[in-house]
Structure 1
Amino acid sequence: MLGRTHAATGWCAGLALAPLLGAHTLAQAVVVATVTAGSALIPDLDHPVSRASRLIAPVTGLLSTAVRWTSGAVYQLTKGPADEDVAGVHRHLTHTVVFAALLGWWTTWWVSVTGPWAAVTALAIAVLLAVDALGDWLVLVVIGVALLWVGRGDPLAELAGITEWLGIAIGVGCVVHCLGDALTLSGCPFLWPIPIAGETWYELRPPRLLRFRTGGGFELWVVWPLCVAGGVLLLPGAWPLVVGLTGG
């Protein structure tokens, strides 16, 4: 999938996730969705020209190099007898449920140890990634949420509430990325290191007729419009409003 599609699916997943995390207001749901949208780009740190790798050059570029080296080393150490003889860099280690779970857990631990400013840092990175993929309009949305927090008089209390679910949202964003890539022609080794048919890096994917090419017509003209529609209709209160306007 293209970066903007990953971010859009992450946004939709965040809006669906928000009520489960206790984020019921529009502002709270937007924060969750922004985190999942930005986090849905993180797995592509294993590609040197991805949005995540180019976000804050040269810092993210160096991080991308480290991620690619680690992914390749882990692939060579853990590949099964039926796995391909490849470098094991792009769409490998960062495209697994293990990576998503570890990143989510590490974020939760880091924020709990460091405090609210760690949450601010994680939020800032997620916002930068999401804005880079989805557009500058998101900056206005985030500023609006921030002003709302300030108007309530206790933004630190809002941040304290975020720390409870921040790691979960980041992990979910990574999972959504993997599920999206699993629908493309190449598939995704989501269940590593569980051995399947002699492969520990078995690429999960549906039957070929149900897969699509990254950046192809199906993604551009079907998947993307569905993401845009879902990203609006999943906002708190949006669906009842649409039903009311259409007389349903």
Structure 2
Amino acid sequence: MVGLTSVAEVVPFAAATAGYALVPDLDHPGGSASRFLGPITGLISALIRRLSGALYSLTKGPRDEDSTGKHRHATHTLAAAIGLGLLAASLGDRGKWAVLAIAATGLLLAAHVLGDWVLFAVLGASAYSVFGTALPGTTPADALQAGLSGIGGWIGVAVGLGMFTHCLGDSLTRSGCPWLWPLPIRGETWYEIRLPRLLRFSTNSWVERLIVVPALLVAGILLLPGVYPFILSTFSEGEVTQSVHRIFSGLFS
């Protein structure tokens, strides 16, 4: 997975991806990211909205809608994801403590939105990976520092990937997302990318809660190193067929 070879590296990477997937909503005063640190993130949110509105006014095409250009605009673009990702990568290259700070910020933001269970799950996985990878003659602290050092600039990929994932998620909704800005499409530089009308759903709808979120959760688990090969080695095709047969036999017996 993007050059990472151990759980000690993947856990901080995943925490950063999950947390920074919430950053684009800093452009909304009521967003969870905007309320993360109270007045501090509130001020950042106000500044982002002002800059986004100014950027929209300067770059909108002849067929772009009459909008303030604040919510779901500047922060909801591939350009913003790449820009913040490059900034995080440059910081991550400076050392393990910078990586830790970026990953911890993402983790706390994810826990703020999704609940404390995220914090406990990641810390538990981190503890398991640290103690499991500590070599004879080294301490768990050495293993942790080695994992953070191994990530380095890859932390920028986590940040950019998280933000872009948010954009893709918004593209599934009825409002769409202009993440291809400033590429002009049909006279619009802020063209909202969205699914065909019949496949769109509203934000916070049952489709998002019962289908999209569980699917992303399962995909995230399968991306962890060793999980997918473990499943394949544990359940061969014959064993899976027999297990499914036993389940249905029990249901309808």
Name the TM-score, length of structure 1 as normaliser.
0.84
| Residues 196-228 of structure 1 deviation map (CA, whole Å, 9 limit, x = unaligned) | 111110111121111111111211222123233
- Percent identical across equivalent pairs? 48
In structure 2, the residue matched to 1:97 is 78
Matched, 1:232 2:212: no
Aligned alpha-carbon RMSD (Å): 2.1
1:75 to 56, 61, 79: 56
Q: Is the 8 A contact 2:16 2:104 kept in 1?
A: no
In structure 1, the residue matched to 2:184 is 195
- Amino acid across the alignment from 1:125: T
Shift of residue 240, structure 1, vs aligned partner: 4.2
1:107 to 88, 95, 112: 88
Shift of residue 132, structure 1, vs aligned partner: 1.7
Q: Is 127-136 or 148-157 further displaced after alignment?
A: 148-157
Q: Structure 1 residues 232 and 118 mapped into 2: Cα distance closer, same or farther (>3 Å)? A: closer
Distance in 2 separating the partners of 1:68 and 1:231: 31
Distance in 2 separating the partners of 1:230 and 1:112: 28
Shift of residue 245, structure 1, vs aligned partner: 5.0
Shift of residue 183, structure 1, vs aligned partner: 0.9
In structure 2, the residue matched to 1:6 is none
Q: How does 1:37-186 map onto structure 2 within 5 Å?
A: 37-112=18-93, 115-144=95-124, 145=126, 148=130, 151=140, 153-186=142-175
Q: Structure 1 residues 58 and 227 mapped into 2: Cα distance closer, same or farther (>3 Å)? A: same
Q: Is 115-124 or 34-43 further displaced after alignment?
A: 115-124
In structure 2, the residue matched to 1:8 is none
Distance in 1 separating the partners of 2:7 and 2:96: 22
Distance in 1 separating the partners of 2:200 and 2:187: 23
| Residues 141-167 of structure 1 deviation map (CA, whole Å, 9 limit, x = unaligned) | 333315717616253333222222011
Matched, 1:222 2:211: yes
Shift of residue 51, structure 1, vs aligned partner: 1.2
Indicate the SS of the match to 1:91. coil
| Residues 48-76 of structure 1 deviation map (CA, whole Å, 9 limit, x = unaligned) | 11111111111111111111110000000
Shift of residue 135, structure 1, vs aligned partner: 2.4
Distance in 1 separating the partners of 2:51 and 2:197: 31
Q: Is the 8 A contact 2:91 2:153 kept in 1?
A: no
Distance in 2 separating the partners of 1:64 and 1:218: 28
Q: Is the 8 A contact 2:92 2:98 kept in 1?
A: yes
In structure 2, the residue matched to 1:35 is 16
Q: Is 117-126 or 133-142 further displaced after alignment?
A: 133-142
